[in-house]
Amino acid sequence: VLGTTVGILHRPEEATVLTDQIIQEMTRSRRWSGEIHFIRKDGRCGVCETVVVPLYDQQDNMVATIGLNHDITEREQNQQELYQSEARYRAIVEDQTELICRFRPDGTLTFVNGAYCRYFSKSEEELIGQRFLPLIPNEDIKRLEECITSLSPENPVETVEHRVIMPTGEMRWQQWSDRAIFNEQGQLIELQAVGRDITEHKHADEQLLQKSQALETFSNNLKHLHRLNTTNYQNFELLYADYLETGCKILGMPTGIISQVHLNSYTILSVRSDLEGLVAGSEFELKNTYCAVVVHEKKTIAYTHVGDMALMHAHPVYQTLKLESYIGTPIFVYGEVYGSLNFSSTQVRETDFQPHEREIVELMAQSLGRLIAAHQAEIERQQAEAALLESESTLRSFFNSSALLMGVVELLDDDILHISDNKSTADFFGTTPEAMQNRLASDLGAPKTHIRRWITHYRESQQSNQPISFEYDHTTETDTRWLCATVCPIPDTTAPHPRFSYVVDDITDRKLAEQELQRQNQRSQLFSEITLKIRQSLQLEQILQTAVTEVQQFLKADRVVLFQLSFDGWGKVLQEAVVPGWPIMLGQSIEDPCFHEEYLDQYRQGRVSNICDLENSDIEACHVEMLQQFGVKANLVVPIQQQDKLWGLLIAHQCSNPRPWTNFESELLQQLADQIGIALAQAQLLETETRQRQELARSNAELQEFA
């Protein structure tokens, strides 16, 4: 390069401009320094740090320059890469949806990303240098301080959850992962944290806990209801008192009332309260009670704080008793509002009435309705029997005035001859009792399908010499009515054809109520579906079959059976729901030599047997052998009590593989066993009532024979 200009060392596009800049600067300040791009020997471009100093002659003319060049190409490249790397990482941090920050041990922020700024609706300048601890509630600061204190070089990372006060005043939950940064002496100098908002997750956890607690409370309430349904009371006064005491305890309310409503009159049948003026037998105008809305709308009504309802301030009950909280539900008897079951307090409830509280009150009212209806039916039966025993004229009066369709017919080969029918039957056919006498059913307009059905049931009754009951629908041009008929043979050797009595009850309202209940069940949770299906059925065999079918489907068990015990500890499988391919136990009598009296005592006391793996269980070998012949690998057994007596067992089998039974499944099976026990008691009551009706029908027939 000797003998050439320095321009050959520079990039051509910079050489002239750079030379002029250097000369101008040296003329002004006698020195120039800066960075110059130069061309290397291999043609690549480099960067050097250059200092240029001029040399002058005696006349102070610049005659030459001295330049010092330092190649800084590598340093520049490293610095450029560092800038690019920092930009990339900053972009990553800024693009994160998580909240990222760095802060000193005293909580002073030294860095925040964009998500952090957006979350708190503040700029980076507003946040940097500020302490975030004032945003945390005092009761949560200790948790954060304990987290920071626990950090060490050996354990530099911890996770902590705490609340934070937003600029709007809203309280939200955050979860932070804090990483401590220590100096060479092991001293904490800074923390880097990554956080996220977990408010929705916390709310979901709280809701799940509340639902779990509500389910547990409802389960306990069902046990109270089971006790009420299975207790034998000497009179309704004791029954009402127990229901009210139980309801007040469940709801935590001091006042409970069972009332009867007739037209516009409200009568207290039973009351549990310390309030003056509330005594059994008291009568009020319905409009002056909270229950007026219950009766009018035929549904549960609840008030958490009456004082907050301006329209209720002038209500007579609020004016006189200051009842602040109230829940009432109608008692239905034969589909009509009989009265109400209600609970109240002069204190404001801390929370609204929960769904499980509403449901238990409604279930109690339903139970009262069934008991009242059964009691009324029993009274009606006794009154009818007494009337029939008085005289044949009383019998005829009852016969003609009864709302039931009643009569006597002769059975022909393919038709039915009406001998005597009451007025209700005549009204049903749109004629008179006299016009129906000695008329064929086909002449009266009865459909052939109905005639064939009746003939079939008449013949069944004749063959068994027992009353036969059946239900059917009767459709006309205007509507469809559901009827329940009972037919019974009448011994009469003088008649040319067999004679029968019949009684038909219009059960349309009950059927419609059952259909509505079924629709409600479809919207209810599965447990309510199963228990209500069991409760609403009146046929014992249907009850038991429904129970095993629903339990088997819900548990997805390979087999569910109902096992009825005999007095000696043996038993028989009455009902079974089993997956095809596994042995069938239905109808089999089981004699298990290992089933000792001690097991019966344990089941009487409510023992639940939970065997997850039969082969590895500690039960006796003979019992294992008996179960294995039916392919059982795991079973769950709960007792069925009927009026405090051990009736049998509800058993779930898993045959395909061992199965760990959950507490929920065990509790569900126990609750269903309780419901089956109630159903058995109801079936027993129905059987008794049917037998009494049969005796009444025979008495009727004998009176008519001698009339």
Domain harbouring 601, CATH code: 3.30.450.40
Which two tokens mark 429? 């056919």
Domain co-membership, 480 together with 616: no
pLDDT value for 84: 62
Beta strands in 491-608 (DSSP E): 499-506, 559-565, 571-578, 589-590
636's CB contacts (< 8 A; 6+ apart) are 608, 609, 610, 611, 651, 652, 661, 665, 666, 669
208's CB contacts (< 8 A; 6+ apart) are none
Answer with the one of 43, 78, 113 that is the final residue of a domain.
78
Which residue ranges in the chain fall short of pLDDT 50? Answer: 1, 519-520, 522-524
DSSP string covering 96-156: -SSEEEEE-TTSBEEEE-HHHHHHHT--HHHHTT-BSGGGS-HHHHHHHHHHHHH--SSS-
Domain co-membership, 315 together with 236: yes
Is the separation of the CB atoms in 49 and 72 below 8 Å?
yes
47 alpha-carbon distance from chain centroid: 76
- 474: CATH: 3.30.450.20
pTM as predicted: 0.36
Domain co-membership, 572 together with 671: yes
Dihedral sign from CA coordinates of 272, 278, 279, 284: negative
Answer with the one of 132, 162, 197 that is the final residue of a domain.
197
pLDDT value for 162: 92
Helices 663-706, 199-230: axis angle to 10 degrees equals: 30
Domain co-membership, 156 together with 31: no
pLDDT value for 531: 65
Helix (H) or strand (E) holding 193: strand 188-197
Residue 562: inside a domain, yes or no? Answer: yes
Domain co-membership, 39 together with 160: no
Cβ atoms within 10 Å, residue 499: 21
Q: What are phi and psi of 247, to 5 degrees?
A: -65, -40
702's CB contacts (< 8 A; 6+ apart) are none
Residue 552: inside a domain, yes or no? Answer: yes
655 alpha-carbon distance from chain centroid: 29
Cα–Cα distance list, 677 to 18, 141, 225 (Å) = 106, 55, 13
Residue 213: inside a domain, yes or no? Answer: no
Domain co-membership, 260 together with 183: no
Domain co-membership, 353 together with 410: no
Distance of alpha carbon 511 from alpha carbon 506, whole angstroms = 10
Is the separation of the CB atoms in 293 and 312 below 8 Å?
no
pLDDT value for 421: 92
Domain co-membership, 373 together with 398: no
pLDDT value for 205: 82
Residue 275 CB burial class (10 angstroms; 0-12, 13-18, ≥19): middle
95's CB contacts (< 8 A; 6+ apart) are 114
Cα–Cα distance list, 34 to 12, 63, 70, 515, 524 (Å) = 18, 22, 11, 96, 84
pLDDT value for 388: 65
10 alpha-carbon distance from chain centroid: 83
469's CB contacts (< 8 A; 6+ apart) are 484, 485, 486, 690
Which residue range is the domain that position 26 belongs to?
6-78
What domain count does the chain have?
5
Domain co-membership, 542 together with 674: yes
187's CB contacts (< 8 A; 6+ apart) are none
Residue 385: inside a domain, yes or no? Answer: no
Residue 212: inside a domain, yes or no? Answer: no
Residue 485: inside a domain, yes or no? Answer: yes
402's CB contacts (< 8 A; 6+ apart) are 422, 424
User: In which order are the strands placed within the sheet that holds 45-56?
Assistant: 32-39, 45-56, 62-71
Distance of alpha carbon 108 from alpha carbon 124, whole angstroms = 13
Domain co-membership, 230 together with 105: no
Q: What are phi and psi of 5, to 5 degrees?
A: -80, 155
Is the separation of the CB atoms in 61 and 27 below 8 Å?
no
Distance of alpha carbon 112 from alpha carbon 332, whole angstroms = 66
Domain co-membership, 245 together with 365: yes
Residue 698: inside a domain, yes or no? Answer: no
pLDDT value for 522: 40
Which amino acid is residue 164, in one-letter code? V
Q: Looking at the DSSP assignment, which residues form a beta bridge with residue 173?
A: 163
Domain co-membership, 314 together with 437: no
Cα–Cα distance list, 497 to 229, 409, 489, 490 (Å) = 47, 9, 11, 11
Distance of alpha carbon 629 from alpha carbon 338, whole angstroms = 54
Residue 421: inside a domain, yes or no? Answer: yes
pLDDT value for 700: 83
Which two tokens mark 681? 């008691």
Burial 135-161, CB ≥16 within 10 A → b, else e: bbeeebeeebeebbeebeeeeeebebb
Q: Looking at the DSSP assignment, which residues form a beta bridge with residue 274?
A: none
